[in-house]
């Protein structure tokens, strides 16, 4: 990595940690405690909890930490992860905004790694790090590494590096830091993407990285910026993966609509072409139709489901 450079300060905190939450007060308590417990100057960071329409005791969780950290709670009634994240960064006082999930735990040195990472090169637009799973149940025998990343597991190796091909390696919103000025430059997270209610739309974080890379900024993977992230037992079944990869295809279609803005006839033509590619492939059709407990075969099914989701997304499954 390049030699560390001095980060100028302009008064206020250096880092703003944004935690979006909805009715998960107990998990939120652990998440905030892991940030407050960092060996990092108290005046150099703040925590903004974005309460996305909770009906539990989320505000009380924030109150209990106010004697230990600069923490405040923002209420956002419009439900949606991208909406909540945008509310958070726009209210942030820090130069760097860090997005952190309410079911994650920051490991020691997390905030320090973020500070040091932004001091390595001026062209850095995004920093993200390792995300270790906290398994809520036994890992299934059919779960291949190739699809385990959909559980927000990130490990691109022991050394820091720039990510140049986001189709192969990426950073995730559970552990993502961006200069506030760059968030303002791109408009933050696109509201068409990521979770709203019970759907499994995703890729708001990936689209943000793509937007910054298009502007010439770089994405830095920094393994020392490490967190643990809950993998609930409710996700450790094939039904959840079927839904998750179908909705990944829908998410990919939404990103295509945002980027290319195809006309309705062009959307239909692309959907027909992708459908023909699936129908003309006996292997893909078999992977979609046949049940399996083999890791490689189930991974093939998941990747084929992306095609189905993409076709559905082009034809309006995401209502865009």
Percent of the chain residues past pLDDT 70, beyond the cut = 96
pLDDT for residue 2: 40
pLDDT for residue 184: 97
**Which of 235, 251, 286 is where one domain is finished?**
235
Of 208, 206, 45, give the one whose Cα is nearest residue 115. Answer: 45
CA dist., res. 285 & res. 21, Å (int): 39
pLDDT for residue 12: 86
Q: Which structural domain range is residue 23 located in?
A: 15-235
pLDDT for residue 146: 95
Residue 122's pLDDT band, with cuts at 50, 70 and 90, is confident
Whether residues 258 and 285 fall in one domain: yes
Whether residues 159 and 228 fall in one domain: yes
How many domains does the chain contain in total?
2
Token pair of 245 as six digits: 């990869």
Whether residues 92 and 203 fall in one domain: yes
pLDDT at 8 over 70: no
Q: Would 295 be classed as within a structural domain? A: yes
Over the stretch 165-192, which tens digit does the pLDDT of each residue have? 999 999 999 999 999 999 999 999 999 9
Kindly report the pTM of this predicted structure.
0.93
Residue 100 bridge partners (DSSP): 19, 175
Question: What mean pLDDT is predicted for residues 227-231?
Answer: 98
pLDDT for residue 290: 84
Percent of the chain residues past pLDDT 90, beyond the cut = 88
Question: What mean pLDDT is predicted for residues 56-63?
Answer: 97
pLDDT at 5 over 60: no
Whether residues 21 and 104 fall in one domain: yes
Whether residues 136 and 42 fall in one domain: yes
Listing from the earlier edge strand, what are the strands of the sheet with 161-163? 71-75, 45-51, 15-21, 96-101, 175-179, 124-128, 218-221, 161-163
């Amino acid at each position: 990595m390049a030699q560390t450079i001095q980060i100028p300060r302009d008064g206020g905190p250096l880092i703003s940690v944004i935690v979006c939450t909805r009715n998960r007060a107990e998990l939120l308590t652990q998440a905030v405690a892991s940030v407050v417990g960092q060996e990092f100057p108290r005046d150099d960071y703040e925590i903004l909890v974005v309460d996305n329409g909770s009906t539990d005791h989320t505000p009380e969780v924030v109150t209990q930490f106010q004697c230990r950290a600069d923490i405040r709670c923002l209420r956002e009634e419009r439900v949606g992860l991208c909406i909540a994240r945008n509310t958070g960064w726009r209210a942030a006082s820090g130069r760097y905004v860090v997005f952190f999930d309410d079911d994650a735990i920051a490991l020691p040195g997390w905030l320090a790694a973020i500070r040091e990472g932004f001091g390595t090169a001026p062209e850095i637009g995004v920093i993200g790090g390792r995300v270790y799973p906290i398994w809520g149940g036994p890992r299934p025998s059919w779960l291949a590494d190739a699809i385990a990343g959909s559980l927000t597991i990130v490990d691109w190796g022991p050394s820091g590096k720039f990510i140049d091909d986001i189709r192969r390696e990426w950073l995730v919103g559970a552990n993502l830091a961006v200069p506030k000025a760059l968030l303002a430059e791109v408009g933050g997270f696109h509201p068409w993407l990521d979770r709203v209610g019970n759907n499994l739309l995703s890729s708001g974080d990936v689209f943000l990285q793509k937007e910054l890379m298009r502007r010439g900024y770089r994405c830095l993977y920094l393994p020392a910026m490490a967190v643990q992230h809950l993998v609930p037992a409710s996700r450790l079944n094939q039904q959840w993966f079927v839904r998750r990869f179908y909705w990944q295809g829908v998410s990919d279609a939404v990103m295509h609509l945002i980027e290319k803005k195809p006309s309705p006839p062009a959307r239909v033509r692309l959907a027909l072409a992708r459908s023909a590619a699936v129908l003309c492939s006996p292997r893909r059709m078999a992977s979609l139709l046949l049940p399996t407990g083999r890791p490689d075969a189930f991974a093939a099914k998941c990747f084929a489901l992306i095609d189905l989701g993409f076709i559905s997304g082009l034809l309006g499954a995401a209502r865009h």
